[in-house]
Amino acid sequence: MKPMDARSFPITPVAPASARTTKDAAFEYLTTRKDELIGWARKFSLFPYPFVTACCAMEFMAVSASPYDTDRFGAALPRFSPRQADLLMVVGTVTHKQAPILLKVYEQMCEPKWVMAFGVCASSGGFYQNYATLLGIDKIIPVDVYVPGCPPRPETVIDGIMQLQDKIARSRHPIVTERF
């Protein structure tokens, strides 16, 4: 893991002139942008809801377990209630019969929420094109990051998580108002 630099840690400690004489003055004040602060907090506390339907589940286990370890990115603890989750990971093929369930799970998640399409089946239907398969979950719910592969390598998933983290860090976080 890279050492923390100013970009990954947007809070810059500034010691006020009046306090510079005291011993622990360095963290008396912090200056940052509010969106950056909230985004920084959110991007390292993703709570995934694994909507796991098919063989990609094996890769999801691999990427969650210690050799690859999504905990390093703050996305380790799966919540099996959509109300406690903010990252919906759709792992595997979604059929037309399952689509109402997926939509209901998505609608039960609280804002802010993000969606990852894990593997080609969730992204586009993959090699399925028939009466049964939903050709990509983005036909029914918005998707933030698509992870290709059949199944994706753990590195690909981690790259997807990191890209999602960048997206979260760059986003507006309207919870922060002028009264904050």
Partner 1 sequence: MTANDLGTLQRELVPAAGPASVSHGTIVLVLAPGELATTARRLRDEFGFDLLLDVTAVDWPNDALRFEVVHHLYSTAHRVRVRLKTRVGAAESVVDSLCALYGSAAYMERECHDMYGIGFRGNRDLRPILLYEGFEGHPLRKDYPKLREQPLVAYREG
Residues forming the site for partner 1 (CB under 8 A) = 96-97, 99-100, 103, 129-132, 134-135, 138-142
DSSP state of 105: H
CB of 137 to partner 1, least distance (A): 10
Q: Which is nearer to partner 1, 134 or 157 (CB)?
A: 134
**How far, in Å, are 18, 37, 81 from residue 118 at the CA level?**
53, 28, 19
* C-alpha to C-alpha distance for 12 and 136, rounded to whole angstroms: 42
CB of 49 to partner 1, least distance (A): 18
CB of 122 to partner 1, least distance (A): 15
Q: Which is nearer to partner 1, 12 or 129 (CB)?
A: 129
CB of 117 to partner 1, least distance (A): 14
Q: What angle, rounded to 10 degrees, do the helices at 154-170 and 56-64 form?
A: 70
* C-alpha to C-alpha distance for 144 and 166, rounded to whole angstroms: 11
Q: Which is nearer to partner 1, 15 or 99 (CB)?
A: 99
Q: What angle, rounded to 10 degrees, do the helices at 34-43 and 154-170 form?
A: 160
Q: Which is nearer to partner 1, 145 or 161 (CB)?
A: 145
